[in-house]
Structure 1
Amino acid sequence: MNPTSRAFLLGPLLKRVSRSFYLTLRILPPAMRDPIGLAYLLARAADTIADTSLVSPERRLDLLLSLRAQVNGAPDDAALARIADDVAGQQTQQDERVLLESLGAAFAILRDLNAADRDAVRDIVTTLTTGMEFDLRTFPDETSGQIAALERFDELDRYTYLVAGCVGEFWTKMTYAHMPGALKAAPDAMLARGVRFGKALQMTNVLRDCPRDLRIGRCYLPAAMLARRGLAPHDLLAPDASSRAQPVLADLLRTTLSLFQDAIDYTLAIPPGAVRLRLACLWPIMIGLDTLVLLARNRAWLDPAQPSKVRRNDVYRIMAVSLPLVASNAMVRAWAARRVRAIEAEL
C-alpha cells in the first residue's frame, strides 16, 4: 500500500500510532471516521514534536507553531522538511517517523474534507497544540533535573480542556454533523457534557501518569493543593510521597468522579439503538473508571515501578463486558455505581 495514500494513513498507520483509540474509532459510524481519524493523526504528529526530548524545547516550540500555522493555512514543503529532518530522525518508533514524513499527505486529506469538517479539524488541532505549547512554555527541559508545578486548580482545569475537553466538544460537533437526530438532548447541554467527558479522561491520565511526569519535571498537581497538605512538588519524589500525598489524590479522585458522572449522562443521552456510538463512548468510560479503581487502591501510586494501568487483556475484557450493557441505561448506571463505590471505599 502506498505510504502516502489516504487508505494507508487512515488505516494501517492510524492503527499503529493510536493503539486503543483505534478500537474506538473503528466502532464509530463510517461518516465520522475520516475527520476524527485525521484530527488524531495531526494531533499525534504535533504531540510527537512536542515530546521529542532530544530536540531542545525552544526548537520543538518553533516546529509546533509551524505545524499549527500549516494546519490553518497552506502547507509549506520547506517547513515540513525541517520537521522531518529535526524530529523524524530522532524517533525510535518507525511508525512515528512515518507519520511525521507523511504530513504532506495528511494535509492533502485535510484539503479534501468538506468545509465544515475541515474547519472543525483545524479548530481542534489548534486547541490541542495550544495545550502542547502550554507544556513547553510552563515546564523545564526534561533533562534539567528541575520540577515546575501548576499553581492553582483552575490552571489544571484549563489544561484539561485544552488537551481533552476540547476533544469531547469536537466529537459532539461531529456527531451532530454526521448523525443528525442521533443526539436528542439540546446541543448546548451535550457540548458542555462533552467537555466534562474529555476532562474526566484527562484527569485520569494526569493522576495515572503522575510518577512519570514528575521525573521529567512536570507536576500537574496544583502547588496550592499540595501546600494545604504541607507538601511541595519536589516532595513527591520521596520514598514516602504516596502516603503523604494520599489526601491530594483523594481530592482529585472526587473531582474526577464528578466529571465521569457527566460522561455517563452524555453516553446515556445517545439513543440505545445507536449501539456503535454508545460503545465508542462507553469503552473509555469503563477503562477510565477501572483506572481510578487501581489508583484508589494503589498505596504506592507515585512509584513509577507500580503503575496504576489497565492491562491490554483487561481492555478486551471490558469490551466483552460492555456488549450486554450498552443498550440498557439501568445496567450501565449499575456497573458505573459499583466502580464508584469501590473508589469511594478507598478514600
Structure 2
Amino acid sequence: MPNPNRAFLLGPLLKGVSRSFYLTLRILPPGMRDPVGLAYLLARAADTIADTPLIPPEQRLELLLALRAQVNGADNQSAFLQRMAGEVAVQQTHSDEKVLLESLGPALGVLSQLDESDREAVRGIVTTLTQGMEFDLRTFPDEQSGQIVALRELAELDRYTYLVAGCVGEFWTSMTYAHMPGTLKETPETMQARGVRFGKALQMTNVLRDCGKDLRIGRCYLPGVMLDRFGLTPQDLLAPSSSLRAQPLLFELVRMTLEHFRAAVDYTLAIPAFSVRLRLACLWPVLIGLETLLLLVHNDNWLDPAQVSKVQRNKVYQVIAGSIPLVVSDALLRRWTGGLMTRIEARLVR
C-alpha cells in the first residue's frame, strides 16, 4: 500500500524546498529516488537548523546533534520533535522550511521503512553532512558578533568541501552500484574517488560565488595561508573594491576547482549513454557549475554580495534543453564542457 507520507515528502515538499534538486530527482531511475530524496530532505532540515540566526550557535549545535542522533536511531523521538517545533520551526519565515521541520516525524518514519542497506547509507551521508555543519558552528563566530574567522590551511578547506559535498558523490555512487548494478563502466574505487571530486567541484564553486555573503556573517573559507601570500586579510575582503586586488587568489582557487570538474566530467561520461536519466542528473550540475565559474572569473566585483555570479533561471533552462539531444554523445559532451573550461582558463591567464 502506498505511503502517503512518502508521496508528500518526496513530491510537493521536496519541490518546495529545492526546485533545482527536484528536477534532478525526477529524472533519477526509480530505485534511487527514495533514498536520495530522503537524504536530501534530512540534510536540508539539518542545514535549516544550523543556519537559523535567531537561535544562538550553541543551541543550534545541540539541536543539530540531536537530529543526527535521531537519524541514527536514538530514542525519545517525541521530545525531539517537540523541540524542533517549539525552538526552530517557529523561527522560520519560509513556509516550506517550516513544513519541513514539522515533517521530521514522518521523514524519520520513511527512513525506518527503507531496506537496511539504503537506511544505513542515508544515515551515513546525513551523519557526514551534519559533521560539516558542526564544523561551521564550532569554527566560525556568531553571525551577529561582527568578527570574521578564516580557515587557516588549504587542507581545512579541502576537508570542509568533502564533509559538505564530496561525501555526496560517494553516496550517489554507492546508490548507483546498489540500484543500477552493472551500469558504471569503471571500478567502484575509481568512481568513488571521482564522485568525491565531483562534489568538491560544486562546493568550491559555491564557496567562491558566495564569498562576499559569507564574509558578512563572519565566515572566510579562503585559507589564511593563501590570504597571507597575497597580502590580504579577511577584513580586506569586506570592501567590494578589493575584488580586483584579490582576483589572483580567486583565479588560483578556480584552477583547483577546474581540476575537480575534470574528474566530474569523467564521472559523468563513465555512465553509459543508454542510462540517459542518470547521465543528465550528473551532467546538469557540471554544466551549471562551469557556467557559474565563467561568470565568476569575469566578475570584477566578485566580492560584492550585491553582484553575485549566479546563473539566471532562463540560462538553466537553456542548458537543460540543450543537453537532452546531446546526452548520448561522449564527444559532444566533451566538446561542450571542454569549451567552457577553455573559456574560463583563457580569463585566468590575462
TM > 0.5: yes
Provide the rounded CA distance (Å) in 2 between the counterparts of 1:78 and 1:47. Answer: 20
> What is the CA distance between 1:19 and its match in structure 2?
2.0
> 2:88 matched to 1:93?
no
Deviation string 1:44-98 (CA, Å, 9 cap, x unpaired) is 0000000000000000000000000010013511011101111100000011111
Task: After the TM superposition, list the runs of 4 or more consecutive aligned residues in structure 1 that deviate by more than 3 angstroms.
Answer: none
* Residue of structure 2 in register with 1:79 after alignment: 80
Native 8 Å contact 1:4 1:105 kept in 2: no
Pairwise CA RMSD = 1.2
Letter in 2 for 1:303: D
In 2, Cα distance between the equivalents of 1:15 and 1:178?
23
Where does residue 193 of structure 1 map in the other structure? 194
2:78 and 2:316 mapped to 1: Cα distance?
40
Structure 2 gaps of 5+ residues are none
Q: Match for residue 271 of structure 2?
A: 270
How far the C-alpha of 1:220 sits from its partner, in A, is 0.4
Q: CA offsets per residue over residues 85-138 of structure 1, 9 Å max, x none?
A: 111000000111110011010000000000000000000000000000000000
Do 1:4 and 1:102's aligned partners in 2 also have CA atoms closer than 8 Å?
Answer: no
Q: Is the 8 A contact 2:5 2:110 kept in 1?
A: no
Within 1, Cα distance between the matches of 2:310 and 2:291?
9
Counterpart secondary structure, 1:41: helix
**SS in structure 1 at match of 2:272:** coil
Structure 1 gaps, min length 5: none
Residue pair 1:287, 1:310 contacting (<8 A) in 2 also? yes
User: In 1, Cα distance between the equivalents of 2:300 and 2:346?
Assistant: 14
Q: Which residue of 1 aligns with 2:63?
A: 63
Give me the TM-score of the superposition, normalised by structure 2.
0.97
Q: Which amino acid aligns with 1:245?
A: A
Q: Between the two proteins, what is the percent identity of the paired residues? A: 70
- 5 Å-filtered alignment, 1:187-226, equals 187-226=188-227
Distance in 2 (CA, whole Å) between partners of 1:266 and 1:6 is 30
Deviation at residue 4 of structure 1 after TM alignment? 7.1
Cα deviation for residue 6 of structure 1 reads: 1.4
Q: Distance in 1 between matches of 2:310 and 2:69?
A: 36
Residue number in structure 2 paired with 1:310: 311
Distance in 2 of aligned mates of 1:301 and 1:325: 32
Answer yes or no: is the 8 Å Cα contact 2:49–2:60 preserved in 1. Answer: yes
Answer whether contact 2:240 2:301 (CA < 8 A) is retained: no
Name the residue aligned to 2:19: 19
Show the 5 A alignment for 1:108-257. Answer: 108-257=109-258
Report how far residue 176 of structure 1 moved.
0.2
Give aligned pairs, total.
346
For 1:188 and 1:304, locate their aligned partners in 2 and report how far apart those are by CA, in whole Å. Answer: 39
Residues 166 and 198 of structure 2 are in contact (CA less than 8 Å); yes or no, is this contact kept in structure 1?
yes
Distance in 1, Cα, partners of 2:65 & 2:180: 33
Structure 1 length-normalised TM: 0.98
Q: Output the CA distance in 2 between the equivalents of 1:34 and 1:5.
A: 12
